Amino acid sequence: MVGSVEGAHRSPPHSNGSVHYSNGVEEKLDELRRLLGKSEGNLLKVVGIGAGAWGSAFAALLQDAYGHFRDKVQIRIWRRPGRSVDRSTAEHLFEVINSREDVLRRLIQRCAYLKYVEARLGDRTLYADEILRDGFCLNMIDTPLCPLKVVTNLQEAVWDADIVVNGLPSTETREMFEEISRYWKERIRVPIIISLAKGIEADLDPVPRIITPTQMISHATGVPIENILYLGGPNIASEIYNKEYANARICGANKWRKPLAKFLRQPHFIVWDNSDLVTHEVMGGLKNVYAIGAGMVAALTNESATSKSVYFAHCTSEMIFITHLLAEEPEKLAGPLLADTYVTLLKGRNAWYGQMLAKGELSLDMGDSIKGKGTIQGVSAVDAFYELLSESSLNVLHPEENKPVAPVELCPILKTLYKILIKRELPPKAILQALRDEAMYDPRERIEMGQSHALYRPSLLGQP
């Protein structure tokens, strides 16, 4: 079942109160349509798969920018049906609605307000796909979006889509795109896929190697990697949708990244393009790993700026070390790439999760899928990176002990996070003990090791 979006064709205001930026928007849409061979009356079909916070906000950004060109583009989002909204969330949602006059008016005009009154009273059950049609993401209740066209049938959503946006967690990406591939067997034109997922898998047989979400998608569907791109940047979904100035990078082959960067760019959301898919996608997974530790440090030290800066120095040196194992010439951890790491450590769901664990307000037994937040992708990434970098076949020379060691031995924060989150051998406060270990050497040495080019292991990405 597909929802609808209210409003006249090309009307100036959005239903959430924002205003269309008309300067050059239609020209950008027409340019992408031409590149994709779209004729007059043939819609450019864009679909988001997965309705977490960023996936939903991303679809809403596109809907706000292009949705009023109904004769040229169709923007939809798929999410699983049947997820109910509990009463406490329904009560909070009702408060959000009544605090925003523009949202309240929109729901009344759509004859949708009454169901939220009934849900608040416990007289009705709301569902996640139902409220998404009205512009509410279950993982981001406090940030109303524009109404979205929601599809709950996966085959209907993807079978003829020109652009597919992967908004799924990395842990669900492979399985979902294996299912999607069954609906693409008769396709003539290969779709373009933009992945927002941040995380990795580790495959240890026959040789240790890393599998990124774009690789998972390519393996599952047979879509060539040049048609699969990664988009990431220093972004918090709710802040971007509320028009906080932000930037991102779309990474991948030259064929599509430049036109897509132009298409996705908005006045408050600047998208650059970059060829280094490996570094950006791996950093997307790594930043979630170290964000959990950053949250722990912040909570355990009462937001000590000194402690957080010490942690930042050590965790970024480990990130640089790890990326130099994977790429011969990775992009430097600077500029937007560093900013992406900074904002995730500062304010993201993984940092929040680390804080709640350290404060005792969450426990590991609750799992890594948290109500109102979605999947905490850093947990599975900790496991994957640790398992991968523990392999003796990847041994490197220890800079002080002058003996071969597994790469993880030079990543004390990653080791500690693994013992806290996966093995559960240590409490969260152990992260501070790792930072204060007198045996820890200057993070500069780890950076210099990486930049010496002696670490590069092409086999980690399945290359000869």
Q: Just list the catalytic residues.
A: 287
Contact between 15 and 3 (Cβ < 8 Å): no
**DSSP code for 52:** S
The whole-angstrom separation of Cα 315 and Cα 413 is 7
Pairing of β 228-232 and β 73-78: unpaired
Helix axes 335-346, 305-326, angle to 10 degrees: 130
User: Residues with Cβ < 8 Å from 236, sequence gap 6 or more?
Assistant: 244, 343, 347, 348
The rounded distance, in Å, linking the Cα atoms of 299 and 288 is 17
Q: What are the phi and psi torsion angles at 435 (to 5°)? A: -65, -35
Instruction: State the DSSP string of 256-267.
Output: HHHHHHHHH-BT
Strands 201-203 and 396-397: unpaired
Q: Which of 172, 375, 173 is nearest to 292 (CA)?
A: 375
C-alpha dihedral, 370 to 375 to 376 to 380, nearest 10°: 130
Angle at 445 between CA 441 and CA 448, to 5 degrees: 170
Question: Which among 404, 405, 434, 403 has a CA at the least distance from the CA of 418?
Answer: 434
How long is the chain? 464
Nearest to 182 by CA among 220, 225, 133: 220
Nearest 5°: phi and psi at 228? -120, 125
Question: How would you classify the pairing of strands 396-397 and 404-405?
Answer: antiparallel
Give the 3-state secondary structure percentages of the chain, helix then strand then coil, rounded to 5: 50, 15, 40
State the Cα–Cα distance between residues 182 and 152, nearest whole angstrom: 17
Distance CA 65, CA 307 (A): 42
